[in-house]
Every structure is written in C-alpha cells, then in structure tokens.
Structure 1
Amino acid sequence: MSRILSLKLWLAVSVLALLSACAQPVKHVDYTAFKNARPRTILVLPPDNSTTDVTASDSMLSQMTFPLAEAGYYVIPVAVMEETFKQNGLTTPADIQKTSPEKLREIFGADAAVYATITQYGTKYRVLDSATVVTASAKLVDLKSGDVLWQGSASANSNEGNNNSGGGLIGMLVMAAIKQVANSLTDKSHDIAGVTSYRLLHAGPPTGLLYGPHSPKFGTD
C-alpha cells in the first residue's frame, strides 16, 4: 500500500511540475537581424569584469570559444586576439571593448564580435551554505553595421542539484566551511565558469545562438 501511495504522490508532483512549466512563458529571441547578417567568423573579446576576482575575465575567455566553435563558427584564436591588442597598447577588457566595430573588422576580418560582462564570479560563504557562482551576459555585434544580432545571459553554481536537508544545523555549518575551503583550493570558479560559458553561448532555440555555417544543423533553426 505504501508503494502505491508513493507512486501516486510522485505522479502528482510530476503533474504539478509539468503544469508549472507550461504556465511559464518561454522567451523567444528575434533572430531576424542574425539571419540577415549570417556571420561566419566570430571574434571573442575579453569579458568586462565587474567582480572583485582579477582572474574572472581570463577564466571565462579561455572557455568561451568552445561553444561557439561547437556551434559551427570559425573563432579567431584567443592568443592572436590578445597579442594583437597588446601590440597596440590595449590590455584591459574595458579599453578593448571600446574599439569600434569597423576597426575590429579591419584588423581581424571577423564578421561579428562577442562582448561579454561578468557580474558574479567566485565562492561566497553564507551562514548555512557555501556556493561558487558565475554569472555573465553577452551580446553578438555585427562588425559591418554595428547592430546587435543576439544577446543573452547565463549563470551556474556549484550547488545545483544538491540536497542540504540532512545533518542538522551544525552539520550544515561544517559542510559550508569545508566547501568554502575546497572550492578555494581547487579553483572551482574556473570549472563553473566553463558551465556558464556553455550555457551563455550555446546554439539552439529558443534563446541560444543560431547554428553556424560549419554545423550540420546550419539553417535548421
């Protein structure tokens, strides 16, 4: 009898979750400008870092090209981009992002550029828990016209899917302290930044980038 009740409870919860998901409107991106521009080559600029962690921009930048390449675009190598700006006296993300679209296209020959901003990066200790969080936003700009083709945001944290209901208050405090130390020692932020980068720049509707010309899914979205 208990198994039957458990099954009924599970079904009820599943139905409620499904209804809740259906009740929430799905945001759809207007891809008109994106489809008209049809970018093939993308330049990823160093993300502007609004956090206190000085490693945030480099950490995100090192992982942002992967989802774009996977989506079917040719991405200007990060090392080439950085060295080019360095030779021209530009070393900070803020200064680099001020470069005009026309100049970026002239120098790199790219069709579009990704401008990103990091708003959260690092492990935060709270009374009953500790979590590593990375949040960022980005926009894809057409270097021919200066138009914004796409924009979005994403976040990831180390506590996704965790259940902290056991162990009592003392246990939760101890676990929070342990996680804080462990995340700091293993640079957990870099791993979480990889998840955020993928969520931010993946391809596919309703909110992701369109697939690029080197993807077998090109033109299907």
Structure 2
Amino acid sequence: MKNLFRVSAIAVVCALMMACAANRPAGRDYSAYKESMPRSILVLPPVNQSPDVNASLSMLSVTTEPLAEAGYYVMPVALVNETFKQNGVTTADDAQQIPAGKLRDIFGADSALYITVSKYGTSYRVISSVVEVEASAKLVDLRTGAVLWSGSAKASSDENKNYNNGGLIGALIGAAIDQVVHNVADDSHTTADVTSIRLLSAGRPNGLLYGPYNPKYQTD
C-alpha cells in the first residue's frame, strides 16, 4: 500500500513538472547568432522617439563600453557619425534606412546595431519627479541582412526612492527638488548609461552573447 502511494505521488509530481515545462516560455533562439558570430559592430545613430533632442547622441555615446566589454570590436562612433554627415546622411532615420550591404561596403563591419529611444528625460508627476530612459535594439548581420538578436531595456531614477516617509507635503517638496536636480545634473544621461548597460551587456537573460574578444566567448 505504501509502495502504491509512493508510486502515485511520484507520478503526480512528474505530471506537474511536465505541465510546468510545457507552460514555460520558450527560450530565445540563438542559432542564427551563433552561426554568424560577428566580431565587429557598427552602432548606427539611434532613432529618437522622445521629445528630448539630446536623446540620440546621449544614448549613442554610452553604447561602446558595454559592447566592448561583451567582447566585440565597436566601430568608433564619432568617426561613423562624421562619415554619415560627410555623405549627406544627417538623420538617424536616414542612416538606419541604408541597406545592410552598403553599410558593410562603407565600414567593413560584420554587424550593425539599430537602436530606438522611446523614452528619455524628466517628467513631473503629482508626488514625484522621475527621469526615465527606455530603448530597444536589434543586431543585424551586414553580410546577410538577418536579424541576429533583439531586446529592450529601461531605467528610472525612481527605482529605489520612497516619497511616503515625509507625508504628502514632504513628497511634493522632494519631487520639486528632484525636478531641479535632474535638470541641472543631467540625470537623463546617467540613466541612459544604466539603460545601455542593461540592454547591451552580455551574460544577461535573453541578452547579447559574449563576443570573440571576451574570455567567456562560446560559454553562453
């Protein structure tokens, strides 16, 4: 009887585990990424969908470090920007519309990173003043035009704050002070840096793979 009960219990547990596995979201397919495995990345000027005109250049300036630390050679963003301007490409939308093969002919990179900034800047709310930056990106193989990876990330200055300790008046005063501080200290750029790290660092769930110049290459 005890053995029968034990077998039944094991069967129930197995059934539950199988059900959980069936309902678990499928992991990202990295097969095309691993087959292509680019060594160099061309970061295109980010498309800015926020009202802040500084968003594109701010996000562009903080992409090199996480990509380099991930193990990729990053084409110098200042040189890339100047090359576009010298050839009459003055907007991020125009740059991102250039065919993949043409970008490879001009810059010689294996892949290109297309970034879109959807949120950037400070917004004043009833009891808080918050800096938010949100961006999405996709990595495209310039040799084939295939999308190897895509992702999104966001960061906020409000992530670890609590405005309730001082009551409503304290919260309103704190929000007003934060609004001034954010404008003076350019917290948007700092928050963009955090967003870029979350978006482009390797080793994160569903993130970029480690590149050929990282010791952890081919371990993920």
TM-score, normalised via structure 2 length: 0.88
Deviation at 1:162, TM superposition (A): 1.6
Structure 1 residue ranges (4+ consecutive) displaced by more than 2 angstroms after TM superposition: 24-28
Unaligned runs of 5+ in 2: 1-19
**C-alpha contact (below 8 Å) 1:139/1:151 kept by paired residues:** yes
Question: 1: distance between equivalents of 2:204 and 2:181?
Answer: 36
Report the equivalent of 2:217.
218
Report the equivalent of 1:67.
66
**C-alpha contact (below 8 Å) 1:202/1:209 kept by paired residues:** yes
**C-alpha contact (below 8 Å) 1:28/1:206 kept by paired residues:** no
Deviation at 1:165, TM superposition (A): 2.0
Report the equivalent of 1:52.
51
1:134-169 CA-partner distances (Å, limit 9, x unpaired): 000000000011110000000000011222221111
1:12-59 CA-partner distances (Å, limit 9, x unpaired): xxxxxxxxxx9x957732111100101000000010000110000000
Report the equivalent of 2:16.
none
Report the equivalent of 2:150.
151
Amino acid at match of 2:157: S
Report the equivalent of 2:199.
200
**C-alpha contact (below 8 Å) 2:122/2:132 kept by paired residues:** yes
1:155-197 CA-partner distances (Å, limit 9, x unpaired): 0000112222211111101111110111011110000000001
Amino acid at match of 1:176: A
Q: For 1:153, what is the secondary structure of its paired residue?
A: strand
Deviation at 1:205, TM superposition (A): 4.4
Q: For 2:62, what is the secondary structure of its paired residue?
A: helix
Question: 1: distance between equivalents of 2:62 and 2:199?
Answer: 11
Question: 1: distance between equivalents of 2:197 and 2:35?
Answer: 25
Unaligned runs of 5+ in 1: 1-21
Deviation at 1:206, TM superposition (A): 2.4
Question: 1: distance between equivalents of 2:25 and 2:198?
Answer: 16
Question: Computing the radius of gyration over CA atoms, which structure comes out larger, 1 or 2?
Answer: 2
Q: For 1:99, what is the secondary structure of its paired residue?
A: coil
What aligned pairs does 1:168-179 form with structure 2 within 5 A after superposition?
A: 168-179=167-178
| Percent of aligned pairs with the same amino acid | 59
